[in-house]
Structure 1
Amino acid sequence: MTKWLPFELHCHTFHSDGKQSLAELVSAAHALGLRGVALTDHNTMTGLANREQIVAESGVEVIPGLEWTTFFGHMLTLGIQEYVDWRNLSPFHIHRGIDGVHRQGGLVGVAHPFRVGSPMCTGCFWEFEVSDWNEVDYIEVWSGLFPSIQRNNARAFAMWTELLNRGHRIAATSGRDWHVSDPVTDPISATFLGIQDEAVEDDGLSLVHRALDALRRGNVAVSMGPLPQLSVLGSDGTRAGIGDTIELREGDGMQLEVTAGIDFTARAGHWELPEQLLQLKLVSNLGELAVVELTQGQPQADLTLDVTGVRWLRGELYGVFCNVRTMIGFTNAIYFS
């Protein structure tokens, strides 16, 4: 069974340029209905010193990490136990650092690739040359507050789509780039990770392990409000969810059943949405394939979709949010092989 838990994967404390302690960060995260955060201070891991105590007291998980902050781009590193040095990374040698993170079982993600760079934000614009995108685990396609209306995020979202079209299996996340615990009026987005069998006890797998595994698999959805959901029923009767792969064998029919839905209980009470007809657009490498109209009274629908030529499929949730018609959230891809 998959349980979707909301995380914020890009956070800072006063150990770098934030204005909050780790305890203040997790307290604010709990107030926003988040199950966990990733501490990604700039080029340091000293803020994690009392992590275990804070997690035990707050019930909010803290994923260890840091943000490489260089002149050529910022890269988020999650799940590492030891500092991985980035100082020998030229624009053409980012894979040296990526290899060091992967050797520890960690993950790497490109942070806010199209944010305005130097001198306004040193190195924020991504300029590293990636020779193999299969080595990058995820891209932060939504960054900051009310991310869906930011032009730099639209460019990042298009970049992710192009990488999917080129055959790469790469996850997409949101990241607030959280520095201050003060209340905000603009909406935040959360990265929901599909945690497998969280209720299983004594199996040696921590929530951090499960969260990183979900991100590695692409079992990820992102939303500022209710959570879009998507699954496909294969011709063999196996249902594939977000991040999974449908195996299409010779002779299989190309008409498959798709279930599209919205979970209105996700972080309920932490967002507002006027009663309306929402659209869940089914988008693929072939473009938009279908539009499903859903409401709180009818939050799920089944449809038959011709998947001839489809290599990946995702859901994009649209509606009026904070007085703007915008994308409210999206799923990561289901892949077809």
Structure 2
Amino acid sequence: MTNWLPFELHCHTFHSDGKQSLAELASAAKDLGLCGVALTDHNTMTGLLDRDSVVANTGVEIIPGLEWTTFFGHMLTLGITEYVDWRNLSPFHIHRGIEAVHKQGGLVGIAHPFRVGSPMCTGCFWEFEVSDWKQVDYIEVWSGLFPSIRRNNIRAFDMWTDLLNKGYRIAATCGRDWHVSDPVTEPISVTYLGIREGYQDLVSAALNALRRGAVAISMGPLPMMSVRSFGGHTAELGDVVEWNMSEHAPVIQIAIDFSAREGLWNLPDQLMKMRLMSNKGELASLELSSEQPHAEYKLDAAGISWVRAELFGTFCGTHTRIGFTNAIYFEEVD
């Protein structure tokens, strides 16, 4: 069984340019219903010195990491135990740094790739040359507060879609880029990671979920998707469905979990639409509500390489994408 736990994967303390201690960050995260955060201070890991005591006192897990803050882009590195130096990386040699992170068992993700750059934000706009996208573990496609309405996030979301269409199985996350623990009035988005039962260490389980693409994003209720294929096998987010023409068509199962962080977001009673998107464009748009939160769709899988679900509705007075799932992939076999 998989439990979908909420995380914030992009946070700062006063060890870089944040205005909060790690304890204040974890306490605020607990108030927001989060199970864990990733500490990604700019170019330093010194904020992790009291990590164990903060976890013990708050119950909020702290994923170790840092944010490479370079002139050519910002890259999030998660799950590393030792500092990885980025200062010798030119715009054409980002893979040297990625290799060093992967050697530690860590993950790398591109942060806010289309945020306005210099002189307003040095290096925020991604300019590194990526020669092998298979080496990039994830892209932060939603950044900041109320991320669905930000133009730079629309570009990042389209970038992720283009990479999926090119055959790259890359995960997408959101990141608040959290610097201050003060309450906010704009909605926040949350990265839900699919944590399998029986885990021994939550940090490792969270990194494994992100690594395999077991990820969903939402500002409110949680959109979910699975695929039931011939023989009753069920594939979850990030999984690969193997099928052939002689079998029954796979069935996409979608749902909205209204209990996810319940009470921490507001949503008017309404019919919402779950759009099933793929490399062939939109496959279907199904209506769901709190009274009818489940639906199924029989998929003609011919020519399909990936499918994801996107939840649309009225949120904070705006008709917008409220959340989305990562992809489930398809391979035709003989």
Question: Quick one: distance in 1 between partners of 2:98 and 2:283?
Answer: 36
RMSD: 0.8
**Does 2:209 align with 1:214?**
yes
TM superposition shift of 1:301: 1.0
Q: Which residue of 2 aligns with 1:335?
A: 329
- Percent identity at matched positions? 70
TM superposition shift of 1:250: 5.3
TM superposition shift of 1:292: 1.1
**Does 2:233 align with 1:238?**
yes
Question: Quick one: distance in 2 between partners of 1:187 and 1:124?
Answer: 22
TM superposition shift of 1:248: 1.7
Deviations 1:104-155 (A, max 9, x none): 0000000000000000000000000000000000000000000000000000
SS in 1 for 2:299: strand
1:104-143 equivalences in 2 (<5 Å): 104-143=104-143
Q: Is the 8 A contact 1:27 1:58 kept in 2?
A: yes
Q: Which residue of 2 aligns with 1:32?
A: 32
SS in 2 for 1:163: helix
SS in 2 for 1:297: coil
Q: Which residue of 1 aligns with 2:302?
A: 308
Q: Which residue of 2 aligns with 1:284?
A: 278
SS in 2 for 1:326: strand
Give the length in aligned residue pairs. 331
**Does 2:323 align with 1:322?**
no
Amino acid at match of 1:133: W
Question: Quick one: distance in 2 between partners of 1:65 and 1:18?
Answer: 15
Question: Quick one: distance in 1 between partners of 2:254 and 2:53?
Answer: 40
SS in 2 for 1:27: helix
Amino acid at match of 1:273: L
SS in 1 for 2:243: coil
Q: Structure 2, unaligned stretches of length 5 or more?
A: none
Question: Quick one: distance in 2 between partners of 1:236 and 1:167?
Answer: 26
Q: Which residue of 2 aligns with 1:251?
A: 246
SS in 1 for 2:194: strand
Q: Which residue of 1 aligns with 2:16?
A: 16
Q: Is the 8 A contact 1:64 1:80 kept in 2?
A: yes
SS in 2 for 1:265: coil
Amino acid at match of 2:51: R
Question: Quick one: distance in 1 between partners of 2:256 and 2:232?
Answer: 23
Question: Quick one: distance in 2 between partners of 1:166 and 1:74?
Answer: 23
Deviations 1:151-191 (A, max 9, x none): 00000000000000000000000000000001000000000
SS in 2 for 1:92: coil
Q: Is the 8 A contact 1:260 1:292 kept in 2?
A: no
**Does 2:264 align with 1:270?**
yes
SS in 2 for 1:43: coil
SS in 2 for 1:84: coil
SS in 2 for 1:112: coil
**255-264 vs 83-92, which moves further:** 255-264
Q: Structure 1, unaligned stretches of length 5 or more?
A: none
1:76-87 equivalences in 2 (<5 Å): 76-87=76-87
Question: Quick one: distance in 1 between partners of 2:19 and 2:29?
Answer: 15
TM superposition shift of 1:237: 2.0
TM superposition shift of 1:236: 3.0
TM superposition shift of 1:249: 3.2
1:223 aligned to which of 198, 218, 223: 218
Question: Quick one: distance in 1 between partners of 2:168 and 2:48?
Answer: 33
**Does 2:313 align with 1:297?**
no
Question: Quick one: distance in 2 between partners of 1:113 and 1:130?
Answer: 12
Deviations 1:36-89 (A, max 9, x none): 000000000000000011001100000000000000000000000000010000
Amino acid at match of 2:125: F
Deviations 1:8-62 (A, max 9, x none): 0000000000000000000100011111000000000000000011001100000
SS in 1 for 2:3: strand
**Does 2:160 align with 1:166?**
no
Q: Which residue of 1 aligns with 2:53?
A: 53
Amino acid at match of 2:297: L
TM superposition shift of 1:327: 0.1
Question: Quick one: distance in 2 between partners of 1:53 and 1:222?
Answer: 29
Q: Is the 8 A contact 1:37 1:62 kept in 2?
A: yes
Amino acid at match of 2:83: Y
Deviations 1:194-222 (A, max 9, x none): 0001xx3xx6x310000000000000000
**303-312 vs 160-169, which moves further:** 303-312
Question: Quick one: distance in 2 between partners of 1:162 and 1:234?
Answer: 26
**Does 2:64 align with 1:64?**
yes
Deviations 1:291-327 (A, max 9, x none): 1100001100122121211100000000000000000
Question: Quick one: distance in 1 between partners of 2:74 and 2:16?
Answer: 14
TM-score, length-normalised on structure 1?
0.97
